[in-house]
Structure 1
Amino acid sequence: MRYTILCACLGWGIAATAQTKKPLTHQDYDLWRSIQAEAITDDGLWFSYEIKDKKDFQQLYIGNEKTVDSISNGSALQFSVDSKYALFQKASDDKKKRDFYLRSLTTGQIELIPAVQTVTFLNGNTPFLLQKVYKESLDSVAVKKKWLPTTKLVLTTMSQGDSLVIPSLIKHRYSPDYNHVLYLQRQDSIRILSLMDLKTKRAHVLAKGNINYSLANFGGKSDRLVYIQESVNGKDTINSLYVVSTYTGKLLDSVTRATAGIAPGFQLSPMEQLSLSADGGRVYFKAKRVQPIDTATVKKKVQLDIWKWDADAIPPMNKGGKMVESDFYQYTLGSKRAVQLTDSSMPFLQFPEGSFEDVTIGFSDIPYRHLVGITADRQYDSYLVNLKTGERQLILKGKFGTPRVSYDKRFVSWYESTDSSWHAMDTKTLQDINLTKQIPAVFYNDDLDKPMHSTHYTDLGWTDSGHDFLVHSKYDVWQIDPTGKRAPINLTKGLGAQKGIVFRYVKSSKSERYVATGKPMYFTALDEVDKKDGYFVRTQDGQFKELAMSNHVYAGLTLAKEGEHLLWRKGDFINYPELYYSKTDFSEVKKLTVTNPQQSKYIWGTSELVEWESFNKDALQGILCKPENFDPNKKYPMVVYFYETRSDLVNRYNVPAAIKSVVNWSYMVSNGYLVFIPDVKFRVGEPGESSYDAIVSGVHALMMKHDYIDKDRIGLNGHSWGGYQTAYLLTKTNLFKAAVAGAVVSNMTSAYGGIRWESGQSRMSQYEHGQSRIGTDLWSNPALYIDNSPIFGLKNVQTPVLMMHNDQDGAVPWEQGIELFMGMRRLGKPAWMLNYKGEGHLLNKEENKDDFTVKVTDFFDHYLKDKPKPSWM
C-alpha cells in the first residue's frame, strides 16, 4: 500500500468530523495504537517507523519526503550505512517462522530471504556486509551428547554480490570495522577456533580441542585481537588470555593464572570485561578468586542468615549470594608480568578507553557501605590510578557519587555538595579548580525540598574533542574550559534565565558518551510558568535559534548523522504525539502519522493550568481536566490525583489504558468527571501537613471559583507517596466523599525500620533524608513520626477508602497496607483492600490491571455518581 502523506492526513481529518461521540469504555483500550522504532538514514533522506496496538496490529512504514510505503506485520527495520538498503522482517501465519526482506531504496526492489534465523547489516567500512544466520539440524550423535546447536553463517558483500559461508558455527565476533571475524566451529567432537580476514577470505586456525571462548575484543587499529580461551582438562577448566595479529593469526603474547603479578588463588575471568589499549600494547582484564569445591558430606545444611550490627551490609542486600572477589589487571605485551589495578580496598575502576590511557579513576565505597540505606546517597573515595604501574593516589574522600574523566584524561570532574559548585582536578598537577563559582547562574537544585545534601542539575560531561566541560544550570547550558584560558560560554545565550525557560541538551545519538562538537547542538525547552514546550538549536557559527515553542509536548528528536533532515514528535492533551519529518531548521514540515483516528468517535477532554495560594502562602500550580462536552451550568464530580509536582504534564497526551496504579485522566473526563492534579510543595518535618496545605487549599480555591464542581462528590486518588498523602488527608478532613489509595505507608514508626525488598536496603534514609522528608531519626524526634503517620489519626476518618497493596511490593512493605486496613476495620470504618497475589509495587499482569481498573471505576461511580454498589464491595 502506497499513499502520499498529504492525502493520508486529510483523509483522516475529514473522517473525524461527522460522527456522534461516545464515552470511553474499558473495552476500548485495545483500539489505541502507538508509534515505535523511529529511524532515519544517515543521509536523512529516508525514514521508518512502526505503528502497533496491544494485540495483533503491526504496521511498518518506510518513506521519504514524497511517499510512504506501508508493510503489514513488518518490524525491526535496519538501514544500511550507505542509505541505499532497508532490511526488515515480517511475521507469518506460522508463529515460529520469520521472513526477512531486503529492499533497495533506490529501485524499490524487494528480495525475500526465506528460512533464515537472523539477518543483519554489518555497517562497518564500505563495502558493507549482509549477515545471514541459518539454523542447522543436530544429528543423532549431537543430540545424544547434548551438544549446542550450530548455525550456518553467510556473509554477502553488498556491492559485489559475492558470499562467504561458514558452517557448523557455535559463536562468532566481528572487529569494529567488520574486516575480521573470530569464530568457533564444531567438527564432529572437536571444536575449532579460527580468525578470518574478510577481505582476503583467509582464515587462521587459532586452537582445536575441547575449548570455548567467552570474551573477545579487537584493539589498536583492529590489527590485534585479544580473547580468553577456556580449555577443559578433566575437572579443571583453564582460562588463558591470548593476543594475536588479526592479519597473520600469529600469537603475540599470552597470560595465564601462573603469570607473575596475578594474585594466588585467582583465575582469569571469562565473563567480565576485556579490552586492548588503543595502541594495542596493553591488555585490560579481570581475574576472580577461585571458589573451593564443596566437599561436605552432610546431607542437610543449616539455612541461616546472620545479621551482624557492624557488617558492611545486611543479609537482604546480598540476596543474590555473596559476590565473588574479582580484580582488574593490566598486562603490557612482552612484560611477562601483570599489574594489579584494583583490590579489596579499592574494588572499582572506570574502564579505560580512548587513545589517552595513562590514567583513570578508581573508587571505593568500602568505608561507607554500612551507611547504605541510612545516608541519602552512596559515598565514595576516589583515586587517580596509574594504568602502567598500578600506583594510586587518593584525590577525593567521602563524596556523593563518582567523578568523570575528560576525553583526553587530563581532568576529572565532580559536584561538590559542600559549596554547591562543580569542580575539576588536573590529573597532572592535582590542582582543584572550582568551575562554576564565578559564573552568575544557579548550578545546585534550588527547588530541592528534601533534608539532604546539596544536589545538582545534570552534567553533560566532557566534549569529544578534548577537555571542555558541559553542564546544566537551572535554566541554561554552559561550556567551561577548566584551564581558564577561555571564558565560560553560555551555549543558550542566557535566554533561559532571562525568560524562565529550562533548556536541556539533546544527545546526538543514544550511544553518545562525550558531547559531540563541530556540529549543531539541539536543546529541549520548557517554560516553567506557562508550560510551553519546544526545541532550540545552536548552530555551528554560534547562533541560538528557536525551532518550535508552543502548548504541546515535543519529544523523540531523531537526528541523521549527515544530511539536513530529522524526525520529531508533537502532541498535546487532545492529540496523540504524532511523528513529523522536516529539515534540521524545522522548515518543510511533513506530518507522517495519524495514529489513532478512532479517537474522533469518543468524548475526549481538555486540560488547563490553574494557580492558587496554599494555606502556607506558597504560589502553586496544578492541572484541571474537563470533559470535551463540558457545560459550566452543570455539576460535575471531581477526582483529585497528586504525587509531588505534575503541572509540567498539562499538555501531555494520556493514552486510554487499564491502570496499574492511578486513574487514567482520559477515561475519567470522557465519563463525566473533572480531574484535578495539584502540585505539592513540602516542608521538612511536615510532609503530611504540607500535602494538606497544598491539596485542600487547591480544592477550596477551585470550589470558590467554579460552581460546576460538585462539592459533595470529590474523590482522592494516590499511589505510593501519593497513597501516603491520601491516607493522611483522610485523617484531617472530611472534604472527600471517597478515596483510592495504593501502596500506602500508614505507620512511619514501623515503616522506618523496614526493608525495601527489591534492593534489600533499609528504609531509614527514606525518612531521614529522602522523599518522606522527616529529617531526623526516630529516636531523636519520635513525635514527628507519630504526627505524620495516618494510623494514629484513623479515629477521625469518615471517608470510605479502597486500598491496593500487593504481597510482593518491593518498595513499600505490604504490612503497611495491612496496618491501615486492620485499623479501619477495628474502628468500624468502611475500607476494602485489594492484594493481587504475586504482584509488586505496580501491577504488571494485564488481567490484574483490567480487574483493578474496573474496581476503581466501580468504587468512584458508586460514591461519586450514586451508581449501585458492586457485588465485590
Structure 2
Amino acid sequence: MNLSLTKTLSKTALVLSFAFAIIPNLNAEQRPLEVTDIMKFKQIVKPQLSDDGKWLAYSAQPDRGENSFHLKATTSATEYQIEHGSKGVISVDGRFAAITITPTLMAKEQADKKAKKKLKNNLEIITLASGARVTFNNVEAFQLSDRFGYVAFLSEMPKAEDKDETEITTDTDKSDEIDEKDETKLFNAKRINKSLTLVNLETGEQQVIENVDGFSFSKKTPSLVYSISTQDGVENSLKALNVKTNKASNLVSKANTSFNGFSWNEESNKVAFLQGDFSQEKDERTHTVKIWQSNNNKIKTIKTNDKQAASWYVPQTNKLTWSLDDERLFFGFKPVVEKLAKIDTKPESIDDLYNIEKLTEGRNLQIWHGEDPLIKTNEKYQLGKDKKSFFTAVYHVDDNKLVRLADQKLISVKASNNEHAVIAKTDLNYRKLRTWEGFFSDIYIVDLDNGKKSLVANKLSSYTDVKLSESGRFAAFYENENVWVYDRSKNKKRNITKGLPVSFADEDHDYPSKVPGYGIAGWLKDDDGILVYDKFDIWLLQTDGDDAKCLTCEMGRPNSLQFRINKLDDEQDYFKDDQRLLLTSYSDEMKNFGFYRLNLENSKLTKLLEENKKFKFIAKAKKADKLLYTQEDFNEFPDVWVADLNLANTKKLTNVNPQKDEFLWGQSELVEWRSNMGVKHQGVLIKPANYVEGMQYPVVVYYYRRFSQRMYEFNAMKVNHRPNFPFYTSNGYAVFLPDVHFEVGTPGHSTNKSILPGLQKIIDMGVADPKAIGLHGHSWSGYQTLHAITETDIFAAAVSGAPVSNMTSAYSGIRLGTGLARQFQYEQGQSRIGASLFERRDLYIENSPVFFADRITTPLLMQFGDIDDAVPWQQGVEMYMAMRRLEKNVILLQYEGEPHHLKKYPNKVDYTIKMKQYFDHYLKGAPAAKWMVEGEAYRERK
C-alpha cells in the first residue's frame, strides 16, 4: 500500500475483525497490563549518596498509592524501608537519617477540605548502624545536625482549649495587655504558635522551647540559633544554644522584631540573618542584615548610607548566600515604591452622586497601550515574579564594605563563588519583543569590588549560557553560530571558533529563529582555556582563539558519538588542567549510551562502560570514590547502581518494581526510512508482547519532534494524557515513535512527509496492519494530528489532545499561564511559520486544519481542559464546530477546571480508559463504548 499524500479522500469507517488482535500468550505466567497496574508502578525520586558513600537514600513513589522511603547500604545487604516516607536526609557524619512521614493516601482522600488542613506529617529518625528507630508526631519542619547527633523540629503548640486548667494559668497583668477589649495591636494575630523540640539522638533526651518560628544548626559547630516570636511581640528574641553544653545565649531581645533567613558561613563561625522592625505602620517593613560571630559573641550590622536607605530597603523575601571562602555575603534590596492610596468612593452627600472624579475613582480598568513594554496579562505575571525577586548586593566581610551589584536597570545578578566579578543580565530593552520575537538580554560583567559594569554583549538570547573565568577578566558566550570571549580589561570581544572545521551551532535546528549553540562546559583554572561543545565533541579553546584542540574528535564525530561532561563536584567552579573527567556518551546513530573517562592532561579518552542501554549519572560521594548511576531500556526500569570512578565493581542497589516480570511488555527496535523529500529518518518500533513473525498488528503512532532517542528508555509508568506504551504493547498493539523533520513555513505538511514513509516501512516489515493504524498527539503533536488527517485517509482513528486548529485565531491569542502573547510562537518558535500573519496570511491558512475539515474522513477524538493555560481551549471548539457542521465523526472531551495537562487523577484515569476504548473500537473492531455512541447529557454538579 502506498501512503502518498492525497487530498481526495473517500474512506468509510473501519470495522476490523477482533480476531486479528488476539495475541497468543506464549508465557502463561505473564498477563496484559491494566490501568490499575500502571498506577502501582513506582519511580525513584531524589536518590542521594551519603558523603562517605556507604548509604543510598531515595523515595519510591507510585503513580497512585503509598510512598516509601529506603536506605540501602552500598557494601552490604542492609536495607531499611520506611512506609509512607516521602523525603529524607542523611547526616554528614553518616550516623543518622531523618525521614518525613506523610499521611496515607486513604486519609487524604477521605478527609474534607477542613480536615485535610489538620493532617500533619510525622518524622522518623533511624540510627544507621543499628537500625534503631524513633518517631515524632505532627512535625512541620525539621533539621538534622551534620555532626553532633541532634535533630530539631517545629510542631504546632497545643491550643488553650486542649490544655488543662493548670497549663493555661497566666499572670494577670500580662493577660490584661492582650485583652480583647484592649486596642493594642497584636504583633501577629494570625500566627500559629509553634514549639521547637531538640532531641539528643544518642541519649534520647529532649527539651522543648515554646514560641519558636525559625531555627538553624551550624554546619561544623554544636550551635543552634533560633528565634522566639510571641503573639504580642513583646518578648521576641534571637538566641543561640550550644547543644553539647546546653548553654544558651541571648543574642538580641527586642519587642516587635522578627529574625529569619538564617545562613551559616562555610566555616560555621558566623550566621547571617534578617532582623525586621514591626514597631511602626509601614507599607514595607524594615529589615536589616546582621551577622552573629560565634567566636566573640558579637553582632555586626550591615549598614547602608542615608541616601540608599531613603530609596532602597531590605525585603523579608530575600536570600542570604555566603561565598565558599566566607569572604563575601550576598543578599538583596528593593526600591521603595510609593503605593497608591486607597480612596473611599462611597458618596457622603447628594452632590457626590454626581461627582465625576469620585465616581471614576471606583473604576476597574487596565489600559492596554500599543507602546507598553509588556501586554497587560504578561505584565501581571511579571509583577508576580518581581514581588519575589530582589536586586543583589555583596558585602565584603573583612573590609566591611557593601557594594550594590544590581539596580533597576541591571536587574538580574546571582550569587557566585568567583572572587572578582559576577555575570549580570537585563531584559528591559527587549520586553516588547517577547510578543513576536522571543526573550533577549544584555549581558554584563560586574566587578565585586566597586560595582563597575562592563558590557559583554547586546541582545543575546536570555537562555544563553555565559561563563566567567576564574580571574573575572573573561566571559565566554555563544552568539551568531560561534563562541566568543569578552576581555573586560581591553573592552574587546573575539570570535574563538572562527575558521574551525565544525559548527558550534545546532545542526538539527529546524525553527525560523536564530540557531542556538551546544553550550559551554566551563573554564579551566587560572583562565587556561575553555571547554566547549559541538554536536559531538569537546573542544579546548584559548582566549586568543589560537591553539584550538579537539579532545574527543578521534571517537566523537566519526562514530556519531556525542560526549558531555558530568560534574562530580558541585562546589568545583573550574576544571583543573590535569583533571580526569567522567563523560557520558550518546550514539546519535544507534541511540545507546555509555561512560568514558577523559584525561585533560594528555587528552586520553578511555571507554569505561557502553551497552545497548541508556545510562544516566546521578551523583558522586563527596568523600569517597563512589558514584551512582541508572541504566535502563524499554524492558529495564532505571534502578540505581553504584560503582567506583572507573565504572568497575558495579552493583545494582534497587529493585523497586519487581512486579514488572508479571506482565507482558514488548520489545523496541530502531527503524530507518527516507522521507518524501529523501531525508534519512529514524524511529522506534515497539513490537507487541509475544510478537509473532509475519502477523500484522494494530499500531498506535505517537510523536512530537524527535523520538528516536527514546530507543533505550523505560516508559514512564504513569496514567496521564499520553498513551502508556507497555499498556498498549501488552494488550496486542504495536507502538511507533517516528522522528519528524520540520520545514519552516509548512510545519503541518512536514508531519506526513516524515511519518507516512515510516508507516509504509513498518507495513513492509509485516508488522503493521495497514487498516488498523491510529494516530495520537498532544499539544504541538495534537496540532500535527489534526493537520495529518486533512491530508491522508491512512489512519483508522485519531486522538488529539489540546491542539491548535486555527493559526489565524490563535496567532494573536494569549498563553494564560504566563500571560504571554502567542505571536512569537508562530513567527519564531514551535509553529515555525517564520513570518507574521500580515506578511504570509496564506501560510497561516494553509497550516490551519480547521479550513480543511471538509477533507477529513478519519474518526477524531479531541481532549481539552477548559482552563488550558497554553492553548486556548476554544481551538478545540472551533475544530469540533467545523466537523460537527460538516457531519464528520468527531467527539470532544471537555475536562472541567483542567489546564493544558490533566491534573486531577479521576480525569487522568477517565481519559486513559476512553483513549483505549476509542482505539480498541476503530483498530481492533471491539464494540463501541456507550459514550462513543450516545454521548452524554450535560450534568450539573453541586
TM-score (norm 1): 0.88
C-alpha distance in structure 2 between counterparts of 1:626 and 1:51, whole Å: 29
- Aligned with residue 736 of structure 2, among 671, 676, 680: 676
C-alpha distance in structure 2 between counterparts of 1:143 and 1:646, whole Å: 68
Secondary structure at 2:66 match in 1: coil
Distance 1:592 1:346, change over 3 A: closer
- Aligned with residue 289 of structure 1, among 336, 339, 343: 336
C-alpha distance in structure 2 between counterparts of 1:440 and 1:122, whole Å: 54
- Aligned with residue 257 of structure 2, among 200, 211, 216: 211
C-alpha distance in structure 2 between counterparts of 1:654 and 1:336, whole Å: 55
Distance 1:751 1:514, change over 3 A: farther
User: After superposition, what is the alpha-carbon deviation per residue over 1:197-226, rounded to whole angstroms, capped at 9, x for unaligned?
Assistant: 668746242232110034444559555554
Q: Is the 8 A contact 2:870 2:900 kept in 1?
A: yes
Distance 1:812 1:467, change over 3 A: farther
Give the match for residue 66 of structure 1.
Answer: 76
- Aligned with residue 511 of structure 2, among 450, 453, 458: 450
C-alpha distance in structure 2 between counterparts of 1:52 and 1:326, whole Å: 36
Secondary structure at 1:727 match in 2: helix
Give the match for residue 8 of structure 1.
Answer: none
How far off is 1:320 after superposition? 4.2
User: After superposition, what is the alpha-carbon deviation per residue over 1:414-435, rounded to whole angstroms, capped at 9, x for unaligned?
Assistant: 1112xx1111222322232333
- Work out whether 1:547 is the aligned partner of 2:608: yes
How far off is 1:488 after superposition? 4.5
User: After superposition, what is the alpha-carbon deviation per residue over 1:593-647, rounded to whole angstroms, capped at 9, x for unaligned?
Assistant: 3333333332211111111111111111111111121223433222222111101
Give the match for residue 228 of structure 1.
Answer: 274
Give the match for residue 304 of structure 1.
Answer: 365
- Work out whether 1:154 is the aligned partner of 2:188: no
Give the match for residue 287 of structure 2.
Answer: 239
Distance 1:785 1:345, change over 3 A: same
How far off is 1:71 after superposition? 2.4
C-alpha distance in structure 2 between counterparts of 1:91 and 1:191, whole Å: 32
- The letter of the residue matching 1:725 is Q
Give the match for residue 260 of structure 1.
Answer: 306
C-alpha distance in structure 2 between counterparts of 1:330 and 1:69, whole Å: 45
Give the match for residue 35 of structure 2.
Answer: 26
Distance 1:333 1:290, change over 3 A: farther
C-alpha distance in structure 2 between counterparts of 1:64 and 1:343, whole Å: 49
Within 5 A, what are the aligned runs for 1:486-635?
A: 487-488=547-548, 490-492=550-552, 494-508=554-568, 520-538=580-598, 543-635=604-696
Q: Is the 8 A contact 1:253 1:334 kept in 2?
A: no
Q: Is the 8 A contact 1:77 1:89 kept in 2?
A: yes
Q: Is the 8 A contact 1:197 1:246 kept in 2?
A: no
Q: Is the 8 A contact 2:644 2:650 kept in 1?
A: yes
User: After superposition, what is the alpha-carbon deviation per residue over 1:449-490, rounded to whole angstroms, capped at 9, x for unaligned?
Assistant: 1111121112223357766433221112234343679x4554
- Work out whether 1:344 is the aligned partner of 2:408: yes
Distance 1:844 1:528, change over 3 A: same
Give the match for residue 354 of structure 2.
Answer: none
- Aligned with residue 808 of structure 2, among 725, 746, 749: 749
- The letter of the residue matching 1:523 is L
Aligned residues: 843
Secondary structure at 1:577 match in 2: strand
Give the match for residue 373 of structure 1.
Answer: 435
Distance 1:540 1:119, change over 3 A: farther
User: After superposition, what is the alpha-carbon deviation per residue over 1:241-286, rounded to whole angstroms, capped at 9, x for unaligned?
Assistant: 4455443343444436xx3331644433222244567665777541
- Work out whether 1:409 is the aligned partner of 2:472: yes
- Work out whether 1:838 is the aligned partner of 2:897: yes
User: In angstroms, what is the RMSD of aligned CA positions?
Assistant: 3.4
- Work out whether 1:191 is the aligned partner of 2:191: no
Distance 1:86 1:445, change over 3 A: same
C-alpha distance in structure 2 between counterparts of 1:551 and 1:39, whole Å: 26
C-alpha distance in structure 2 between counterparts of 1:279 and 1:575, whole Å: 46
User: After superposition, what is the alpha-carbon deviation per residue over 1:805-864, rounded to whole angstroms, capped at 9, x for unaligned?
Assistant: 221111111111111111101111110011111111111111111100111111111111
- Work out whether 1:789 is the aligned partner of 2:848: yes
Give the match for residue 488 of structure 2.
Answer: 427
C-alpha distance in structure 1 between counterparts of 2:644 and 2:404, whole Å: 52
User: After superposition, what is the alpha-carbon deviation per residue over 1:4-34, rounded to whole angstroms, capped at 9, x for unaligned?
Assistant: xxxxxxxxxxxx9974332222232233233
How far off is 1:153 after superposition? 4.2
Distance 1:490 1:443, change over 3 A: same
Q: Is the 8 A contact 1:184 1:191 kept in 2?
A: yes
How far off is 1:308 after superposition? 0.7
- The letter of the residue matching 2:318 is E
Give the match for residue 186 of structure 2.
Answer: none
Distance 1:92 1:63, change over 3 A: farther
Give the match for residue 41 of structure 1.
Answer: 50
Give the match for residue 789 of structure 2.
Answer: 730
User: After superposition, what is the alpha-carbon deviation per residue over 1:113-133, rounded to whole angstroms, capped at 9, x for unaligned?
Assistant: 54573554332xx55754455
C-alpha distance in structure 1 between counterparts of 2:266 and 2:737, whole Å: 56
Distance 1:574 1:247, change over 3 A: same
How far off is 1:865 after superposition? 1.2
Distance 1:576 1:91, change over 3 A: same
Secondary structure at 1:549 match in 2: strand
- The letter of the residue matching 2:582 is Y
Distance 1:170 1:450, change over 3 A: same
Q: Is the 8 A contact 2:52 2:623 kept in 1?
A: yes
- The letter of the residue matching 1:24 is L
Give the match for residue 81 of structure 1.
Answer: 92
Secondary structure at 1:372 match in 2: helix
Q: Is the 8 A contact 2:100 2:121 kept in 1?
A: no
Distance 1:217 1:847, change over 3 A: same
C-alpha distance in structure 2 between counterparts of 1:238 and 1:527, whole Å: 57
- Aligned with residue 399 of structure 1, among 434, 438, 460: 460
Give the match for residue 132 of structure 2.
Answer: 110
Secondary structure at 2:286 match in 1: strand
Distance 1:393 1:832, change over 3 A: same
Distance 1:19 1:293, change over 3 A: same
- Work out whether 1:172 is the aligned partner of 2:234: no
- Aligned with residue 137 of structure 1, among 131, 155, 158: 158
- The letter of the residue matching 2:561 is I
Distance 1:482 1:315, change over 3 A: same
User: After superposition, what is the alpha-carbon deviation per residue over 1:138-179, rounded to whole angstroms, capped at 9, x for unaligned?
Assistant: 556799855531322426497x99988755422124455456
Secondary structure at 1:382 match in 2: strand
- Work out whether 1:361 is the aligned partner of 2:423: yes
Structure 1 stretch displaced more, 758-767 or 79-88: 79-88
Secondary structure at 1:668 match in 2: helix
- The letter of the residue matching 2:587 is D
How far off is 1:699 after superposition? 1.4
- The letter of the residue matching 1:563 is A
C-alpha distance in structure 1 between counterparts of 2:909 and 2:294, whole Å: 57
User: After superposition, what is the alpha-carbon deviation per residue over 1:305-362, rounded to whole angstroms, capped at 9, x for unaligned?
Assistant: 21110001001102347456964556678999976544433333x23433614x3333
Q: Is the 8 A contact 1:655 1:666 kept in 2?
A: no
Within 5 A, what are the aligned runs for 1:468-483?
A: 468-482=529-543
C-alpha distance in structure 1 between counterparts of 2:101 and 2:415, whole Å: 41
Distance 1:266 1:88, change over 3 A: closer
Structure 1 stretch displaced more, 261-270 or 806-815: 261-270
Structure 1 stretch displaced more, 141-150 or 829-838: 141-150
